[in-house]
Amino acid sequence: MSCLEVRNLVKDFKIRSGLRSSTLRAVNDVSFTLEPGRTIALVGESGSGKSTVAKMISQLETPTSGEILLDDAPVGRRGRALTDYRHQVQMVFQDPFASLNPYHTVAHHLERPLQLHGVASGAELEPAVHGLLERVNLTPAETYAAKRPHEMSGGQRQRVAIARALAPGARFLVADEPVSMLDVSIRLGVLNLLARLQREENLGVLYITHDLATARHFSDEILVMYRGDVVERGPSDDVILDPQHDYTKTLLAAAPEPSRHGRLREEVRAELAGA
């Protein structure tokens, strides 16, 4: 079956302080399966291991143990299998400004992955770039293709980062706090874009966030991490409305404005209706 699966993932970091060295278990036995057209939210306090899971999936960190499988096949460490995996599983980071080169145009940022991954070349590049920009609602595409990162808003830059992730033909996106650095007013637009791609293009999304309200609204399933462990998991509404684990209850109690859940849904609905 088509899916991205992590099985019993563990990550230990060696910590050195002076002459002593110790081991920190950042991720402890995490397993889940992300299917196309679905969104899983990974929530939990700072330091709970969310980004470390994302980095292992993105091959930026090597798991201490456990497996990552794409379409039931373990991810290769090198060669074609790894290249294929990288085409299909892409990452969107928190800070779009840091991930874009200020000297290059949007077109340049998108042409590179298209060329590198053999998706388009020569005369095909321009229409391919425009097609990507249209998919992330940056239109007219010709105008945005010529811009440099500083000529755009944070939300527009994050859309470019998403377009770049889509360029190699990604089927799964790992989005690590993709809107937490953006102005509150433009967060929903970017999240709605991810929701549309998930729905219309059958993308699988791993959405990492501190924000329980958007986790609930934008994901099918929520996994709650605490000190490296997944302490609770389930359909989004169940986890938020009827949390079983004390840590989830604490997280919910600490979330700003509980009434916000209701309001956010209204805002999202209004925006979706207008989109």
Residues that bind ligand ATP (CB under 6 A): 13, 24, 26, 44, 46-52
- Which range in 46-54, 151-159, 232-240, 251-259 contacts Mg ion by CB under 5 A? 46-54
Pick from 51, 90, 99, 248: which binds Mg ion (CB under 5 A)?
Answer: 51
* Closer residue to Mg ion, CB minimum distance, 52 or 248: 52
* Closer residue to ligand ATP, CB minimum distance, 130 or 233: 233
Report, in Å, the least distance between residue 21 CB and ligand ATP: 11
Q: Which does 155 bind (CB under 5 to 8 A by kind): ligand ATP, Mg ion, none?
A: none
* Closer residue to ligand ATP, CB minimum distance, 43 or 136: 43
Report, in Å, the least distance between residue 18 CB and Mg ion: 27
Report, in Å, the least distance between residue 51 CB and ligand ATP: 3
List alpha helices for 46-202, DSSP H: 50-57, 79-88, 96-99, 106-116, 125-135, 141-145, 154-166, 184-200
Report, in Å, the least distance between residue 137 CB and Mg ion: 27
- Which range in 50-58, 123-131, 211-219, 234-242 contacts Mg ion by CB under 5 A? 50-58
Nearest 5°: phi and psi at 272? -65, -40
229-235: strand order across its sheet: 89-92, 172-176, 204-209, 39-43, 221-226, 229-235
Instruction: Provide the CB-side half-sphere exposure for 120 (13 A, CA).
Output: 20
* Closer residue to ligand ATP, CB minimum distance, 141 or 224: 224
Q: Structure tokens of 142?
A: 């010709």
The whole-angstrom separation of Cα 113 and Cα 110 is 6
Q: Which does 275 bind (CB under 5 to 8 A by kind): Mg ion, ligand ATP, none?
A: none
- Which range in 8-16, 51-59, 160-168, 242-250 contacts Mg ion by CB under 5 A? 51-59
Q: Angle at Cα 59 formed by Cα 197 and Cα 133, nearest 5°?
A: 30
* Closer residue to ligand ATP, CB minimum distance, 11 or 87: 11
Taking alpha carbons only, the member of 98, 101, 100, 74 closest to residue 85 is 74
Nearest 5°: phi and psi at 97? -65, -40
The whole-angstrom separation of Cα 118 and Cα 120 is 6
Residues found near Mg ion in the complex (CB under 5 A):
51
